[in-house]
Amino acid sequence: MSIYEFRVDGHVDEHWATQLGGLRPDHHGDGSTTLTGPVADQAELHGLLARLRDLGTTLLSVRAVPEPAAALRKLDWPARTERLVLRPGTADDADAVFAYRRLEQVARWITELPVDEDVFRTRFATPQRLADTLIVEHDGRVIGDLMLRVEDAWAQAEVADGGRGVQAELGWVFDPAQQGHGYATEAVRELLRICFDGLGLRRVSALCFADNEPSWRLMERVGMRREEHNVRESLHRSGEWLDGFGYALLADEWKAAAGVQDSGA
Ligand SMILES: CC(C)(COP(=O)(O)OP(=O)(O)OC[C@H]1O[C@@H](n2cnc3c(N)ncnc32)[C@H](O)[C@@H]1OP(=O)(O)O)[C@@H](O)C(=O)NCCC(=O)NCCS
């Protein structure tokens, strides 16, 4: 079973999607639609291509969504919390994300200060970037983005297979206009549920500059543990070598904490 993404010209409605075996339609600003869903084998893939042809669609592209992005997309979307909606990112989110990532107070803590909107759009729309990106919405508006990058654990050669795709690196960037309301805490708690409950991962980790107190306080609020203090190991664009912190959380720690919360409720 693989996840496939068919991009077609025009806006395909839910009725068509049903005829195509329940593929999920996502409409894009350029007038195209991606239809995403599981495909059992080559026979089913060829059947879907024939149905798309019979429906008279103009097929723009077909691709197998690479694992582990496929596992993430197989989950039920959107995910909802009390105040927020989390969903996979699409190329159409680029402008909303650029609007806050380009701000100096945001960019000073993250890998890149995006300057040119067109360059940002192109990079944001790459399958690799979108595969790791979740969007956080409040009242229908994009307020932040999350990174969920599934990766292999370090493992000795003889057991390397057992370490494949078992953990994730996490990240978060929120619009400063939306900070201070607990939205990041609420979104990252849901992100942890997605990692441990949804994807069955065994460990998550996150890195930040030691000076980025809002970020490491967020990690501590959601129960992550400080595991590393790296001294002057990261070069900031200011030219300074800065200290970094590494945080992590194991699935069984998360489950134990969730159990404590449940019994106390
Ligand atoms: C890191 C970042 C997401 C943290 O944002 P944040 O606003 O501090 O986090 P939250 O949304 O969870 O809000 C928490 C604050 O809201 C307050 N709050 C209000 N209502 C709340 C609620 N219902 N639940 C929890 N906290 C609430 C908390 O007391 C806390 O305030 P404090 O910092 O004064 O103690 C944000 O600073 C950011 O995007 N920074 C730029 C990008 C960045 O650094 N990314 C990380 C790179 S490693």
Going by alpha carbons, the residue nearest to atom 37 of ligand 1 is 214
Instruction: Determine contact, residues 148/191, Cβ cutoff 8 Å.
Output: yes
Say whether pLDDT at 67 is over 80. no
Q: What is the CA(245)–ligand 1 centre distance, in A?
A: 17
Report helix, strand or coil for 99. helix
Q: What is the pLDDT of residues 137-183, one digit of tens each?
A: 999 999 999 999 998 899 898 888 888 889 999 999 999 999 999 99
Q: What is the mean pLDDT of residues 61-83?
A: 85
Beta bridge partners of 61: 7
Q: Are 116 and 135 in contact (CB under 8 A)?
A: no
pLDDT the model gives residue 264: 39
CA of 182 from ligand 1 middle (Å) equals 6
Range with lowest mean pLDDT among 6-10, 137-141, 174-178, 212-216:
6-10
State in Å: Cα 219 to ligand 1 middle: 10
> Residue 247's pLDDT is what?
98
CA-based nearest residue to 245, from 210, 206, 211 = 210
CA of 35 relative to ligand 1 center, distance in Å: 35
Answer with the residue of higher pLDDT: 68 or 11.
Answer: 11
**pLDDT at 15 (0 to 100):** 75
Would you say residue 93 has pLDDT above 90?
Answer: yes
pLDDT bucket at 195, cuts 50 / 70 / 90: very high
CATH of region 2-65? 3.30.70
Structure tokens at 241: 């070598």
For tokens 């970020």, what's the residue? 215
> Mutation test of ligand 1: which of 189, 215, 236 has the most ligand atoms closer than 8 Å to its C-beta?
215
182 touches ligand 1 (CB under 6 Å): yes
Domain boundaries for CATH 3.40.630.30 within the chain? 70-264
Pocket test for ligand 1, best of 135, 181, 191, 213 (most atoms within 8 A of CB): 181
Q: Is 86 in contact with 78 (CB distance < 8 Å)?
A: yes
Q: What is the pLDDT of residue 236?
A: 96
Atom nearest to 186 CA in ligand 1: 12
Decide: 205 in ligand 1 pocket, CB within 6 A.
Answer: no
70-264, CATH topology level: Aminopeptidase (3.40.630)
| Mean pLDDT over each residue of the chain, to the nearest integer | 91
Q: How much distance in Å is there from the Cα of 144 to the middle of ligand 1?
A: 11
d(CA 129, CA 17): 26
Each residue of 97-133: pLDDT tens digit? 999 999 999 999 999 999 999 999 999 988 778 989 9
Question: Residue 221 has which token pair?
Answer: 């609020």
Is it the case that residue 60 has pLDDT exceeding 70? yes
Q: Identify the pLDDT of residue 126.
A: 84
Amino acid 263: pLDDT: 41
Ranges of CATH 3.30.70 domains, the chain: 2-65
Confidence tier at 265 by pLDDT (50, 70, 90): very low
